[in-house]
């Protein structure tokens, strides 16, 4: 299993009021699977991705990713784990503005154990249809192109698992469909698992396996929007 | 290599603030290097200028005035001393040699000093170094043999375009005054010594007394009983280890108790001169430190403002695997790189300032200053810059270290 969650609980405190945002008794994601989790905004989907990426520690429970129990890793070990095993795609791309498309892709493997490989980065950019845009800065690219660069960056260090947080949230429906299909294809080619969270029904329909988040999460309530939590 | 790439990108991304910080630090470093180098070289030159002369026998008056006139060809001698008294001092067992001189004349702004030939052949302006006319060393011509002949110091010849065969008429006085009708021919140019002696013209001692208009003292040329001189450089015998004979203080006491003359030891007077002018370089040094402090503040402000702009970028670097320590190292290294770039530029600028200063000082005093001189500031530059870079970078580095990843990657909309 690429993802293996057991007894996962995440509590938040907003002001004086504690509430549970995630309560997932057990859930797994097999190697090579492509799954979309859908649900309304603010129901904890992004929090789940942050937990799986090792950016947050759950209040209780175990999180085993690619065979590694994240609870047993120190912060620097988690950073290295993420650099080597996780690729992440954001709704707002988060490309570094001073870096060209090619450099943004190269950044994806800067902190991994792999050597910076310009050839690989170029191949990835070509694969997402941006071979002519290598030297362009993010500000010189369209939103669809920026998301393609972000996909190439997420794949640069050959991760085992790609996490996509509302990957089409900033795209128009036509581009959104193209990007999702591209993402699915590339993940298949690179044999990596894909876990997408989205509130967009169109995106969810394009996945063979989809899962309503409120079914997965036993914390039935709609909390107020908490920072970074989608 | 990977981190160097990120640092390079960051510096280029904020090239304006980086450039401003580099220039600010460079200005401070340049000032410190120039001030310290010029101060140290001034000390060295003053000491070396005094080294050739263990003591000056001069008239009663200000010892500093005697040193300035005798060694640096500045000011005027406060009076004259009797030749017979000079001979008496010369016969003292601790005195190895004496070089009498008469001052008070000039030509085109340069002093015309009357000396005997012995001064041009035996006087050591630095230990073991006597004047030379060798063309290989930059001199030319020969020493004076007749009364109407003169030898020019190297700087005088260079500035006035003097070569052997040219003539001049000395002016009575050091600034302006009547011009003597005697036409004196330059027969030689001394090789450069890097001392104020380069900035004087030397005529025979006897010529001083027999210049047109000096009829009232003409007899001094032949009658030693009446002869007067402005002063004399004295070389004192050394004791074992090269130290000056301890009896010099006794001789000084005896002479200074008399009404005939005074004995001035340059190495005792020069520190007083340095103390007088010391506040100037102290003030300059303070200004240089202030400018460097401002440069450090510029670097700090530049890093902090760059960090504010880059919070999202840094959060993203953390997200893709950079550890907190890596981020700390990135910001500190960036600070160090800016400090070192500023230091390198300041090093070049500082030595450039010393070069410009050396041209001016050489023109004014004849003292040789080297722009390549390695001062204390140069030696402490690297550790100083590292400290400066670390101090300026520590605060923004700690801010970057503590930066929350998720908080700074929140969607903008």
- Predicted pLDDT at B48: 64
Contact A131, B340 (CB under 8 A): no
Question: Which one-letter DSSP state was computed for residue A1?
Answer: -
Where on the phi/psi map is residue B227: left (φ > 0), alpha (ψ -120 to 50), or beta? beta
Question: Which one-letter DSSP state was computed for residue A186?
Answer: H
Taking CA atoms, B180 is separated from B25, B173, B230, B287, in Å, by 56, 10, 19, 48
* Closest residue of chain A to B413, computed from CA coordinates: A92
Contact B237, B229 (CB under 8 A): no
- CA distance to partner chain A, nearest, from residue B409 (Å): 7
What Rg do the C-alpha atoms of chain B give, in angstroms?
30
List b or e across A136-154, with b for residues whose CB sees 16 or more CB atoms inside 10 angstroms. bbbeebeebbbbbbbbbbb
* Closest residue of chain B to A94, computed from CA coordinates: B316
Instruction: Report yes or no on A205 lying in a domain.
Output: yes
Which residues are bridge partners to B81 per DSSP? B229
- CA distance to partner chain B, nearest, from residue A23 (Å): 21
Nearest to A111 among B320, B324, B405 (CB): B320
- Are A96 and B323 an interchain contact pair (Cβ–Cβ within 8 Å)? no
In chain A, what residues touch B321 (CB-CB under 8 Å)?
79-80, 82-84, 110-112
- Predicted pLDDT at B49: 56
- CA distance to partner chain A, nearest, from residue B352 (Å): 36
- CA distance to partner chain A, nearest, from residue B11 (Å): 10
- Are A94 and B411 an interchain contact pair (Cβ–Cβ within 8 Å)? no
Show the CA angle centred on residue B126, arms to residues B125 and B131, nearest 5°.
Answer: 45
- Are A92 and B324 an interchain contact pair (Cβ–Cβ within 8 Å)? no
- Are B13 and A98 an interchain contact pair (Cβ–Cβ within 8 Å)? yes
- CA distance to partner chain B, nearest, from residue A193 (Å): 18
For residue B246, count other CB atoms closer than 10 A to its CB.
9
Token pair 């000084």 is at which residue?
B252
Instruction: Report yes or no on A95 lying in a domain.
Output: yes
- Are B323 and A75 an interchain contact pair (Cβ–Cβ within 8 Å)? yes
- CA distance to partner chain A, nearest, from residue B406 (Å): 6
DSSP string, A203-229: HHHTSSEEEEHHHH----S-PPP-TT-
pLDDT in tens, B247-278: 889 999 999 999 999 999 988 887 777 777 77
Q: What is the largest CA-CA distance in chain A?
A: 53
Mutant choice from B5, B311, B318, B320 vs A, greatest count of A C-beta within 10 A: B320
- Are A98 and B313 an interchain contact pair (Cβ–Cβ within 8 Å)? yes
- Are B322 and A108 an interchain contact pair (Cβ–Cβ within 8 Å)? no
Where on the phi/psi map is residue B236: left (φ > 0), alpha (ψ -120 to 50), or beta? beta
- Predicted pLDDT at B74: 83
Token pair 């401002």 is at which residue?
B294
Burial of B2 (0-12, 13-18, 19+ CB in 10 A): middle
Nearest to B321 among A83, A99, A103 (CB): A83
- Are B406 and A91 an interchain contact pair (Cβ–Cβ within 8 Å)? no
Which residues are bridge partners to B179 per DSSP? B171
Assign 3-class secondary structure to chain B.
Answer: CHHHHHHHHHHHHCHHHHHHHHHHHHHHHHHHHHHHHHHHHHHHHHHHHHHCCCEEEECCCCHHHHHHHHHHCCCCCCCCEEHHHHHHHHCCCCEEEEEEEEEEEEECCEEEEEECHHHHHHCEEECCEECCCCHHHCCEECCCCCCCEEEECHHHHHHHCCCCCCEECCEECCCCCCECCCCEEEEEECCCCCCHHHHEEEEEHHHHHHCCCCHHHHHHHCCCCCCEECEEEEEECECCCCCECCHHHHHHHHHHHCCCCEEECHHHHHHHHHHHHHHHHHHHHHHHHHHHHHHHHHHHHHHHHHHHHCHHHHHHHHHCCCCHHHHHHHHHHHHHHHHHHHHHHHHHHHHHHHHHHHHHHHHHHCCCCCCCCCCHHHHHHHHHHHHHHHHHHHHHHHHHHHCCHHHHCCCCC
- Predicted pLDDT at B412: 56
In chain A, what residues touch B412 (CB-CB under 8 Å)?
92
Q: Which two tokens stand for residue A203?
A: 């995106």
Residues 6+ apart with CB under 8 A from A50: A56, A228, B406
What Rg do the C-alpha atoms of chain A give, in angstroms?
17
Q: What residue spans of chain A are helical by DSSP H?
A: 45-52, 75-85, 101-107, 118-127, 143-155, 173-189, 201-205, 213-216
Nearest to A94 among B312, B323, B326 (CB): B312
In chain B, what residues touch A112 (CB-CB under 8 Å)?
321
Query: Worst-scoring range by mean pLDDT, A78-87, A204-213, B112-121, B199-208?
Result: A204-213
Grade residue A230 by pLDDT with cuts at 50, 70 and 90: very low
Using DSSP, state whether A119 is helix, strand or coil.
helix
Grade residue A227 by pLDDT with cuts at 50, 70 and 90: very low
Q: Which two tokens stand for residue B187?
A: 């027969």
- Are A103 and B326 an interchain contact pair (Cβ–Cβ within 8 Å)? no
Q: How many CA atoms lie within 13 A of B105 on its CB side?
A: 28
- Predicted pLDDT at A198: 86
pLDDT at A224 over 60: no
Rounded Cα distance between A54 and A86, Å, is 9
- Predicted pLDDT at A177: 82
- Predicted pLDDT at A61: 92
- Predicted pLDDT at A228: 43
- Are A228 and B406 an interchain contact pair (Cβ–Cβ within 8 Å)? yes
Rounded Cα distance between B208 and B227, Å, is 11
Instruction: Report yes or no on A148 lying in a domain.
Output: yes
pLDDT at A176 over 50: yes
Interfacial residues of A (vs B; Cβ cutoff 8 Å): 50, 53, 55-56, 75-76, 79-80, 82-84, 88, 90-92, 94, 96-99, 103, 107-108, 110-112, 116, 153, 227-228
For residue B243, count other CB atoms closer than 10 A to its CB.
9
Instruction: Report yes or no on A23 lying in a domain.
Output: no
Provide the residue-wise pLDDT of chain B in tens; the chain has 413 residues: 578 888 888 888 888 888 988 999 999 999 999 989 988 888 877 766 565 788 999 999 999 899 888 888 888 888 999 999 999 999 999 999 999 999 999 998 899 999 998 999 999 988 889 999 999 999 999 999 999 999 999 989 998 999 999 999 999 887 777 888 889 999 999 999 888 889 899 999 988 888 888 888 888 877 888 899 999 999 988 887 777 777 889 999 999 999 999 999 988 887 777 777 778 878 888 888 888 898 888 888 888 888 888 888 899 999 888 999 999 999 999 999 999 999 999 999 999 999 999 888 877 776 778 888 999 999 999 999 999 999 999 999 999 999 888 888 876 55
Rounded Cα distance between A54 and B325, Å, is 17
- Predicted pLDDT at B292: 86
- Predicted pLDDT at A137: 93
pLDDT in tens, B101-131: 999 999 988 999 999 989 999 999 888 899 9
pLDDT at A10 over 60: yes
Nearest to A83 among B313, B320, B411 (CB): B320
Instruction: Report yes or no on A40 lying in a domain.
Output: yes
Contact B46, B270 (CB under 8 A): yes
* Closest residue of chain B to A91, computed from CA coordinates: B411
- Are A107 and B411 an interchain contact pair (Cβ–Cβ within 8 Å)? no
- Predicted pLDDT at A226: 47
Domain of residue A127, residue span: 32-54+74-216
Instruction: Report yes or no on A67 lying in a domain.
Output: no
**Domain total of chain A:** 1
Nearest to A92 among B2, B10, B412 (CB): B412
- Are A111 and B325 an interchain contact pair (Cβ–Cβ within 8 Å)? no
What was the ipTM of the complex prediction?
A: 0.85
Instruction: Report yes or no on A42 lying in a domain.
Output: yes
- Are A98 and B10 an interchain contact pair (Cβ–Cβ within 8 Å)? yes
- Predicted pLDDT at B210: 87
CATH of residue A96: 3.40.50.300
- Are A99 and B9 an interchain contact pair (Cβ–Cβ within 8 Å)? yes
Closest CA to A49 of A191, A166, A185: A166
- Predicted pLDDT at A65: 93
- Are A227 and B321 an interchain contact pair (Cβ–Cβ within 8 Å)? no
Contact B388, B293 (CB under 8 A): no
């Amino acid at each position: 299993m690429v993802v293996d969650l057991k007894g996962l609980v995440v509590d938040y405190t907003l002001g004086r009021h504690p509430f549970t945002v995630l309560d997932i008794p057990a859930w797994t994601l097999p190697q090579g699977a492509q799954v979309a989790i859908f649900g309304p905004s603010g129901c904890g989907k992004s929090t789940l991705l942050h937990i799986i990426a090792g950016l947050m520690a759950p209040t209780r429970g175990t999180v085993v990713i690619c065979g590694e129990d994240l609870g047993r890793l120190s912060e620097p070990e988690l950073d290295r784990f993420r650099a080597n095993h996780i690729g992440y795609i954001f709704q707002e791309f988060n490309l570094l503005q001073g870096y060209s498309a090619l450099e943004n892709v190269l950044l994806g493997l800067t902190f991994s154990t792999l050597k910076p490989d310009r050839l690989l980065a170029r191949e990835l950019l070509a694969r997402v249809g941006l071979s002519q845009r290598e030297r362009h800065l993010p500000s010189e690219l369209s939103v669809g192109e920026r998301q393609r660069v972000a996909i190439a960056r997420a794949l640069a260090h050959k991760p085992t698992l790609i996490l996509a947080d509302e990957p089409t949230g900033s795209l128009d429906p036509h581009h959104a469909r193209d990007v999702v299909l591209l993402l699915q294809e590339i993940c298949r080619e690179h044999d990596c698992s894909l876990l997408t969270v989205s509130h967009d029904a169109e995106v969810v329909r394009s996945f063979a396996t989809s899962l309503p988040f409120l079914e997965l999460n036993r914390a039935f309530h709609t909390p107020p929007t908490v920072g970074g939590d989608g | 290599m990977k981190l160097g790439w990120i640092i390079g990108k960051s510096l280029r991304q904020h090239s304006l603030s980086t450039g401003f910080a580099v220039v600010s630090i460079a200005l401070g470093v340049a000032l410190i290097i120039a001030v310290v180098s010029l101060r140290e070289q001034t000390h060295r030159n003053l000491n070396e200028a005094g080294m050739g002369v263990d003591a000056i026998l001069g008239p009663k008056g200000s010892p500093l005035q005697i040193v300035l006139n005798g060694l640096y060809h500045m000011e005027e001698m406060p009076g004259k001393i009797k030749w017979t008294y000079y001979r008496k001092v010369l016969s003292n067992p601790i005195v190895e040699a004496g070089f009498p001189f008469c001052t008070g004349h000039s030509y085109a702004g340069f002093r015309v000093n009357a000396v005997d030939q012995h001064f041009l052949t035996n006087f050591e302006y630095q230990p073991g170094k006597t004047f030379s006319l060798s063309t290989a060393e930059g001199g030319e011509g020969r020493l004076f043999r007749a009364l109407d002949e003169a030898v020019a110091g190297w700087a005088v010849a260079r500035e006035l375009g003097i070569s052997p065969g040219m003539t001049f008429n000395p002016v009575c006085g050091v600034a302006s005054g009547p011009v003597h009708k005697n036409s004196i021919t330059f027969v030689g140019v001394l090789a450069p010594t890097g001392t104020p002696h380069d900035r004087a013209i030397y005529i025979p001692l006897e010529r001083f007394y027999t210049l047109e208009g000096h009829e009232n003292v003409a007899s001094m040329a032949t009658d030693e009983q009446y002869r007067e001189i402005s002063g004399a450089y004295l070389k004192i015998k050394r004791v074992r280890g090269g130290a000056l004979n301890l009896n010099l203080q006794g001789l000084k006491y005896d002479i200074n108790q008399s009404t005939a003359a005074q004995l001035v030891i340059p190495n005792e007077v020069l520190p007083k001169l340095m103390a007088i002018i010391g506040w100037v370089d102290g003030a300059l040094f303070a200004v240089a430190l202030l400018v460097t402090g401002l440069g450090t503040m510029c670097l700090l402000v530049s890093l902090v403002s760059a960090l504010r702009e880059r919070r999202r970028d840094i959060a993203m670097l953390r997200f893709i695997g950079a550890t907190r320590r890596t981020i700390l190292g990135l910001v500190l290294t960036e600070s160090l790189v800016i400090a070192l770039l500023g230091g390198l530029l300041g090093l070049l600028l500082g030595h450039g300032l010393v070069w410009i200063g050396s041209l001016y000082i050489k023109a004014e005093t004849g003292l040789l200053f080297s722009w390549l001189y390695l001062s204390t500031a140069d030696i402490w530059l690297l550790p100083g810059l590292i400290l400066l870079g670390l101090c300026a970078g520590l605060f923004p580095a700690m801010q970057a270290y503590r930066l929350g990843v998720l908080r700074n990657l929140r969607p903008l909309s």
